Chains A and B, each alone.
Chain A
Amino acid sequence: MSKTNENPTYWKSLNQLANNEEYKKFLEREFPENASELKDGMSRKNFLRIMGASIALAGFAACRRPVEKILPYKTRPEEVVPGNPLYYATAMPYRGSLTGLVVETHEGRPTKIEGNTEHPASMGNTNTQMQGAILGLYDPDRAHGITSDGQKKSWDDFLSFAKQNFTSDKKVAFLCEANSSLTLNRLKKDALKKFKNAEWVTYEPFGEQNALEGNNQAFGKKLRTYNHFDKAKVIVSLDADFLQQGSENVTNIGNYTRGRALESTKDSMNRLYAVESNYSLTGSNADHRLRIKNSEVELFTYALAASLADKIGGLEAFKGYNNHFSNHSWVSVLTEDLLNNKGESIVAAGNDQNPAVHAAVAAINMALENKDKTVSYYDVPTFETGNDTQRFYELTRDLKAGKYDALVMIGTNPVFTAPSDLDFSSALKATKTTVLLSQYHDETARQTQWHVNRAHFLEQWGDGTSYTGVKSVIQPMIQPLYGGKSEIEYLYAIINGTSGDGHKLVRETWKSYLSSTNFENQWEKILHDGILPNTEFDTPRVSLSSSFATYMNQAFAQAKKPGDNEIELVIKPDNKIIDGRYGNIGWLQELPDPVTKITWDNVALMSLKTAATFGVKNEDVVSITSGGKTVKLAAWVLPGHADNSITIWAGYGRKGIGRIADDDFGIYVDNKYKTLPFEVHKFESKNVFPFVTTDNPLYHTSVTVKKTGEYYSIASTQDHSSMEGRPLARQGTLDTYREDPHFAPEMEEVAGIEKKSYRKFPDALYTPQEGYDYLPQWGMSIDLNSCIGCGTCTIACQAENNIPVVGKEQVKRGREMHWVRTDRYFIGNDAGDPEIIHQPVPCMQCELAPCEEVCPVAATTHSRTGLNQMTYNRCIGTRYCANNCPYKVRRFNFFNFSKEFLSSGDDPEVIQMAMNPDVTVRFRGVMEKCTYCVQRLNRAQIDRQLETKNQSFKPVDGSVQTACQQACPANAINFGDISDPNSKVVKVKHNERNYIMLDVLNTRPRTSYLAKIRNPNPKMS
């Protein structure tokens, strides 16, 4: 294990050998193992050398294994067994708090991220960004070293620079991303001790600062709101996209779906009301959805509070208030429903709503006695006092005024994201010394004196707390690929001018949390488990502050009804790349947006009606002007969007970040501009951050929109959104379910003939071959009632199965390669305001698979465990199987996608390191599709055989999970052996809601669905 660490150059040289022409040619061959291929010009010795090299290439990362002792999560081997993955616990800093993860590493090379079942923020689940983090790690576009004014510099240069410039007499400003790191917090104290009258400001473009400020106004204390969606019966979301946005969304999804899970007709489920302008993922899962302008959400909240105030105490501040929503049917219905569920309800406001809304919501939840039942208010020790937003504004102004000698930035990108009228770049110019730690040589980095390339969280030691305060340690899985530094090493260097070892710094911090007597044992346990349990933040007893009423009155004064024909512009964080920080991760860029199914771009979302008024259709370019700023964007009609309102996702329109993130799809490497082999034409400057100003940080109320007559094509993976009355994704209401539990499987596909009647017909004219009963018979069940449509399964599958990114042009041609897609259908008669249902569709693994019989070369056949398997090497690519697949889940390599994907970048091996060695990389001209992660199944089967000495071939239920199942934050996917009557999946399949898609075809899929159940309020009509 440690042998390899001593002489890394040895490996490198072999690795170089592996890259010589001869070897490349050899790899290009169709069948490298075919002996005849080897005759020409390649002696056996030579062959062995090259094979050795290629193995070394696989273990290329071995030389980078951290020197410190880290502990595997499951097994603790004497030495690494090549080919057997090891699992380590770590945690991912995601938008200001940690989520516990378990990382699969092959020969010291992290390849797959899973949730840590023991971590409360994860509960074994992840979200798209977490799944994508692996590709972020191996991103060849990350900054490759420290630079100062465009010059390459070494770490030692930086140290000496720090020594000279960060002397205690300097007036230093610290600008830090939202970061829960305990060590960083400890060093922060040191810093503030050392540098007299220094400022430490936390800045997040789409952070929780408004919520904090709201609670601060309500309770006089800066508290973090946490909603227990699993405990609530009624949830009211006021523009709160809690299933998608926010650092705790994994927890929220889990809790929310747990609160809706139905095992039988007796179970009850929560009811979700959504009030929003954009059609958010949360809105698409709501039982009732009210589309109003973003600027009206505030008014709606007050109206709701006011009507509650008449019934219950604690809301005196709202007594007598009224506006045009006061008589709205929603207000009365919500009031009633909330009052009926006192202490079992949640009112949640979105982070993009202003503090007053959050204050009001806090008051409502208090009044409804939800506190400590469904809503907790956490006291987070690492917070600074004061309003983060205001403090950031002031800091910038002071910087511009030259009040500071130095500015230290940690992980933020204010030049790109800060309000445009602040003009942050001038603040940078005005400051003598500016240093930045960030992963990419981004907009801010290019204007900063010193840029230190940041280590990926998988490369660094660190720590932090979950959203609820549970402490975890971040273990490195691999040594920094580009010699990056973690925020703690960076800050330590700035304070002390010397290099601090991350490992030591973290242990130092943790001394105070662990008893000194048996520190080592506890430390090892924490590394092993990934958490220090029972360390939630404390929830102080709070009451409405005296100033609350006056504060609200000011808010009432400011909140006024927008003009009816006034066009409103809302800037929302992107569902995939947030504020652009994940913009260079191809998997995320190519993941269809959960609601619009758009890939690679951002668009101007608007309702049917609004589009009609502008006379635009999808892909017409509109120029949007507000506050002197203009942006040209493709329009996109999103049914269900609020009228006279336009929503645009932030984070796009970047330059010089990376091949994927950039508009024109190129990158600066050593000040040279390079472009990708496959083209994705993007539009000039789709950056909408310029719209964000200090006066209107959230939305603009008076916007002018003009149709330019230009046309810009958008790659959407789903052109047709109506189900055409076909029973594909089936749903019913709770009442219909209780009356007729079997409503879903009975939905008819032959007009006028009931399912039951033709079910009696013989299944087939022949007796089909069955699977072998001594082997497991794999089956899957997908619960549409739990599925929220986030698309995490797609990314997890992509990561597990080495699925290439194909680029926008190919997606536009309908050639995306995702093995599991999520279909999104609009339902309802009102085209302007439809419901949405999401349906993930992987390969159904039909027992009588239509794809198999039509393959002329028997490249797709049935396994003894009931899998419909592809033999890539046999496939000649007639695409007949894809034609004959009614579920359209087969994907064809029209070009050499994998090769393009894996050979992009300056050092391609880096991306190649992200590949899963257990899965073949497919070549041009072959068909591919979901295999139920057969590599996992076979591994589990073999392990089981070894355990039981070939007594049993059937893995224990739950011992093997497919990638999609494991990642799914909603636990919507069940998978297992259907020949085992006690397995979970069999139990689930016995649910009355269980139905088979297109069962009229008698393809006998192994994958079945559970119908979605909505829980509408009868009073709402």
Chain B
Amino acid sequence: MSKSYEFVPEPPLVQGNHTFGSITALIGDIPERETPKGWYIAFGVANLLLLLLVALLSYLVWEGLGVWGLNNPAGWGWAIINFVWWVGIGHAGTLISAILFLFRQHWRTAINRFAEAMTIFAVMCAGLFPAFHVGRIWVIYWVFPVPNQMGMWPNFSSPLLWDVFAVSTYFTVSLLFWYVGLIPDLATLRDRVKSKTSRFFYGMFALGWTGSNRHWLNYEKAYMILAGLATPLVLSVHTIVSFDMSVSNVPGWHSTIFPPYFVAGAIYSGFAMVVSLMIISRKIYGLEDIMTVDIMEKMNIIMMVTGNMVAFSYLMEGFMSWYSGYIYERGIFWLYVVGPYAWGFWILMFCNVINPQFMWFKKVRRSVTLTFLVATFANIGMWYERFMIIVASLATDFMPSSWAYYSPTWVDYLTYVGTFGLFFTFFLLFLRFLPMVAISEVKAGLPQADPHYYEEDDQLEGSNGAGSIVIQPNESV
């Protein structure tokens, strides 16, 4: 039997009939516009927290690691948990800009800019922890292969060293990627702003960009290549972070499922964070037209998928620990479930296994408030996942005689809180002074950006440059 097909167009990316100019105005004017009071309040709070962080880290370095709750079996505690958690969050940005770019997902243009910014700041927060958790931070530079009078070099077989390279590379590349994306928009701002000084600074960072199409040629190539490089990179970072655990022999760490499992978890938490931040900033800056609910729904779907991948790997862990028959592996999983840290395990189960299931319902996916809730739980859940993996596994490993209950100190708590100060200080500065949406990319996504748009004959309805058209079989006929 023959089937006839009809086109069901995707909803336009940008709602409300915007022109190139109106979009420039919508985003480009934010730095010019009167700063909302809320911004100052938020910025003040963020600064206080940042100050707290600085104070606590100085205290740590002055007194010694003993001020943290670490003990003998649990040599790693909150520091590493927070590190992994922040790095995980840092995954969304580059993922959105790189992978979705390669997949021609044009809806990314609405969020990629501040997702990338978020990535960079999250990785900064993450980077603090491994640096400060060492016993003698004043010789931390020994982890870099710098020729020195001791004739010593790092040990390249240590996953911790791989981490050093992975995270620093990830940070650098994300930063470059972000900056390259910014150049044309900086030029836009350069050409808009009134005050001489801001003109000077925007101008300086715009590097004299003119929008020449000879430049655009190389520029697009570069952007494409960067995306191509960042894609494996973003997958490699959490893979290597997971090596810190999976390469060791600690029961509950030594597991081959960790790399995919960690990456999935990272995307899960990363998207959760982006969605939450998007929901906030679209409200404050009235960007509902660009950061549309459709986009939110798309991201929710990704959260649901990755969330279920995570849930699946929990199942696999449980199954493998039983199937392996390896008594220490069995022991640790049983201890997760009923052991001293069982409470953490069940919080985790709710946040990462039950919680994403809500996203099956379109209502939830499209509801701003519910999405925000689910996203928040997702982030809590991912923190507890790392808590269970790192602390619970270490505190109850091979030697029952050495088991000890790990409990954090007030320094641990407040240091973690402090990192939010660091994060939001930078993030708010970004919102205030930089275009939070990729202007040129949004324009390129508009229907009128396509030269064919002006040729009367083929006015494809809803041809919006996204070029992605869903084809659904029509059962009638």
Contact = CB atoms under 8 A, between A and B. Distances in A.
Contact of A882 (B63, B65, B69, B72): B72
A814 B73 contact: yes
A728 interface: yes
Given A857-B142, A876-B139, A751 B70 contact: no
Interface in A886-909: 886-888, 891-896
Given A719-B405, A876-B134, A892-B135, A749 B76 contact: no
A927 B72 CA distance: 11
B324 interface: yes
A47 interface: no
A753 B325 contact: yes
B399 A887 contact: yes
A726 B403 CA distance: 14
A894 B331 contact: no
A380 interface: no
Given A855-B155, A880-B158, A814 B72 contact: yes
A888 B398 contact: yes
- Give the residue among B72, B164, B331 with the most A Cβ atoms within 10 A: B72
A854 B247 contact: yes
Contacts of A720: 400-401, 403
Contacts of B161: 856
Given A857-B143, A888-B399, A877 B136 contact: yes
A663 interface: no
Given A814-B404, A854-B247, A925-B135, A879 B154 contact: no
A725 interface: yes
B369 interface: no
A649 interface: no
B142 A879 contact: no
B225 interface: no
B64 interface: yes
Contacts of B394: 883
Given A753-B325, A814-B71, A855-B155, A884 B143 contact: no
A724 interface: yes
A883 B248 contact: yes
B326 interface: yes
A878 interface: yes
- Give the residue among A722, A857, A874 with the most B Cβ atoms within 10 A: A857
A572 interface: no
A1018 interface: no
A884 B160 CA distance: 12
A925 B65 contact: yes
A152 to B, nearest CB: 39
A878 B325 contact: no
Contacts of B73: 814, 888
A752 B322 CA distance: 12
B158 A892 contact: no
Interface in A769-822: 810, 813-816, 821
A724 B331 contact: yes
Interface residues of A, number: 59
B139 A892 contact: no
B410 to A, nearest CB: 14
B250 interface: yes
Contacts of A728: 398-401
B231 to A, nearest CB: 27
A926 B160 contact: no
- Give the residue among A723, A853, A878, A883 with the most B Cβ atoms within 10 A: A883
A753 B331 CA distance: 17
A894 B327 contact: no
Nearest to A871: B152
A855 B135 contact: no
Nearest to B409: A813
B319 interface: no
A875 interface: yes
Given A750-B327, A880-B160, A724 B75 contact: no
Contacts of A751: 325-327, 330
A875 B135 contact: yes
A959 to B, nearest CB: 33
A751 B331 CA distance: 12
A489 interface: no
B197 interface: no
- Give the residue among B71, B133, B153 with the most A Cβ atoms within 10 A: B71
B303 to A, nearest CB: 32
B404 A877 contact: no
A880 B244 CA distance: 9
A814 B134 CA distance: 18
Contacts of A719: 403-405
Given A720-B400, A878-B160, A888-B398, A883 B64 contact: no
A888 B155 CA distance: 22
A823 B250 contact: no
Interface in B49-84: 63-66, 69-73, 75-76
Given A858-B152, A882-B75, A895-B64, A726 B250 contact: no
A924 interface: yes
Nearest to A858: B155
A1001 B250 CA distance: 10
A330 interface: no
Nearest to B245: A883
Contacts of A855: 155, 158, 160
A371 interface: no
Interface string B387-427: 00000001001111111110000000000000000000000
A399 B338 CA distance: 65
Contact of A998 (B153, B325, B398, B404): B398
B400 A722 contact: yes
B280 to A, nearest CB: 37
A233 interface: no
Nearest to B334: A724
Contacts of B150: 874
Interface string A737-767: 0000000000001111100000000000000
Contacts of B134: 876-878, 925
- Give the residue among A886, A926, A1000 with the most B Cβ atoms within 10 A: A886
B160 A854 contact: yes
A872 to B, nearest CB: 10
A856 B158 contact: yes
Contacts of B249: 850, 884, 886, 1001
A926 B136 contact: yes
Contacts of B398: 726, 728, 886-888, 998
A879 B64 contact: no
Contact of B155 (A815, A856, A892): A856
A876 B70 contact: no
A838 to B, nearest CB: 11
B328 interface: yes
A926 B135 contact: yes
Nearest to B71: A814
A718 interface: yes
Interface string A590-631: 000000000000000000000000000000000000000000
Nearest to A1002: B249
Interface in A993-1007: 998, 1000-1001
Interface in B108-159: 133-137, 139-140, 142-143, 150, 152-155, 157-159
A721 B326 CA distance: 21
Contact of B64 (A723, A874, A925): A925
Contact of B401 (A815, A823, A854, A878): A823
25 contacts: A751-B326, A751-B327, A814-B71, A824-B401, A841-B401, A850-B249, A853-B155, A855-B155, A855-B158, A856-B143, A856-B160, A857-B152, A857-B155, A858-B152, A858-B154, A875-B135, A876-B134, A876-B140, A880-B244, A880-B248, A886-B397, A886-B398, A886-B399, A925-B64, A998-B398
Please provide the 7 A-B residue pairs with the shortest distance between their CB atoms, ordered closest to farther. Answer: A877-B135, A925-B135, A879-B75, A814-B71, A894-B66, A823-B401, A858-B155
Given A886-B399, A925-B134, 5 more contacts: A720-B401, A857-B154, A876-B136, A878-B134, A882-B72
